[in-house]
């Protein structure tokens, strides 16, 4: 199967590319490398270093003629979205509209869209939160990711495009950026390995659904043939607070470690974890990697990267 992955040089997207290649598919990647890295793209995938808004993107669709488009390209920072909501919507809303239009024009049969179960619902009324919960995002990022969902569903009505929308929990794993503002597991591992104290936003009791990236890959593989026309939560169904994440990372790294409290993050949801029964039913999927095992794998990867990184530089990826 020919699959085009947008954002395929990024943290999650590059793992999805690996999974598709391992399953024997032909994969092309579109990524402007604003946050992704060329080194993340595995051998066997063709990388096109272009923005999804660029004119060249249409040429890539016309030549590659993907059967499935997996859309991971996004502005993925809640903080950036609150500072520049217009740019956030241009990338996540308008960018998705363009990908849908091109997918339909050049004969794709399906779009798999990476959405955000951690932000689109806002502060849930019930936990775990089901897919039919009211949509009330607290950040522009949550608004723009939901706008992307609406464009995907519009593509089904206007062009007959099949789709599966995957609303991820809080992803973590190898290749996540330890120097950014998102991705607490990677940030904590990076700071602990560098001997720096961790910064915990607010009181640290905010709870999220932390999901290992390998489990996300399996959901994207299953969505190639299942989950037609479905919106699916992809998470563990369990909430974990930031202090618990700190202790788990400390154990994986070999602590002890120190932390300091910082101000709460604007637009952050206090508590959200996902009801994943629909994904179990329609995809045959459930998370398999425990938090402890996932953090241990992630810490081991970061240690390996540090061993390969020259002194005075920061391991990234």
Distance CA 258, CA 210 (A): 22
Overall size of the chain counted in residues: 317
Contacts of 43 (CB under 8 A, 6+ apart): none
Residue 314 CA to residue 317 CA, distance in Å, equals 10
For residue 163, indicate whether it is catalytic: no
State the alpha helices, DSSP H only, in the chain.
11-22, 56-64, 78-83, 85-89, 95-105, 140-159, 184-193, 213-222, 242-253, 277-282, 291-308
Q: Phi, psi at residue 10, to the nearest 5°?
A: -85, -175
Let me know: does 147 contact 89? Beta carbons within 8 Å: yes
Tokens found for residue 223: 């969505």
Q: Which of 20, 113, 121, 141 is catalytic?
A: 141
Q: What span, in angstroms and rounded, lies between the C-alpha atoms of 160 and 84?
A: 34
- Nearest-5° angle of CA 241, CA 242, CA 245? 95
Residue with tokens 């502060």: 123
- Candidates 63, 135, 56; CA nearest to 98 is 56
* CA distance readout (Å), 276 to 142, 237, 286: 19, 6, 7
Catalytic residue numbers, as ranges: 141
């Amino acid at each position: 199967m020919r699959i085009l992955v947008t954002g395929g040089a990024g943290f999650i997207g590059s793992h999805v590319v690996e999974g598709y290649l391992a399953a024997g598919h032909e994969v092309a990647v579109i990524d402007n490398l604003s946050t992704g890295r060329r080194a993340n793209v595995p051998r066997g995938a063709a990388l096109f270093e272009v923005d999804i808004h660029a004119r060249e993107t249409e040429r890539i669709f016309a030549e590659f003629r993907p059967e499935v488009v997996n859309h991971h390209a996004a502005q993925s920072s809640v903080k950036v979205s609150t500072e520049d909501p217009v740019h956030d919507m241009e990338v996540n809303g308008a960018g998705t509209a363009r990908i849908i239009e091109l997918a339909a024009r050049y004969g794709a049969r399906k779009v798999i869209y990476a959405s955000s179960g951690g932000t689109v619902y806002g502060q849930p009324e019930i936990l775990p939160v089901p897919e039919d919960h009211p949509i009330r995002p607290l950040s522009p990022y949550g608004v723009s990711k939901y706008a992307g969902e609406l464009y995907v569903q519009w593509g089904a009505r206007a062009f007959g495009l099949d789709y599966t929308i995957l609303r991820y929990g809080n992803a973590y794993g190898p290749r996540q950026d330890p120097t950014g503002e998102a991705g607490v597991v990677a940030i904590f591992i990076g700071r602990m390995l560098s001997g720096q104290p961790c910064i915990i936003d607010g009181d640290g009791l905010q709870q999220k659904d932390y999901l290992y990236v390998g489990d996300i890959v399996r959901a994207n593989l299953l969505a190639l043939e299942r989950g037609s026309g479905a919106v699916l939560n992809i998470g563990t169904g369990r909430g974990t607070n930031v202090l618990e994440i700190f202790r788990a990372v400390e154990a994986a790294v070999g602590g002890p470690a120190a932390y300091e409290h910082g101000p709460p993050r604007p637009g952050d949801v206090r508590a959200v974890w996902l009801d994943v029964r629909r994904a179990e039913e329609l995809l045959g999927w459930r998370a398999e990697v425990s938090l402890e095992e996932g953090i241990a794998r992630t810490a081991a990867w970061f240690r390996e990267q540090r061993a390969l990184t020259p002194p005075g530089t920061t391991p990234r990826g």
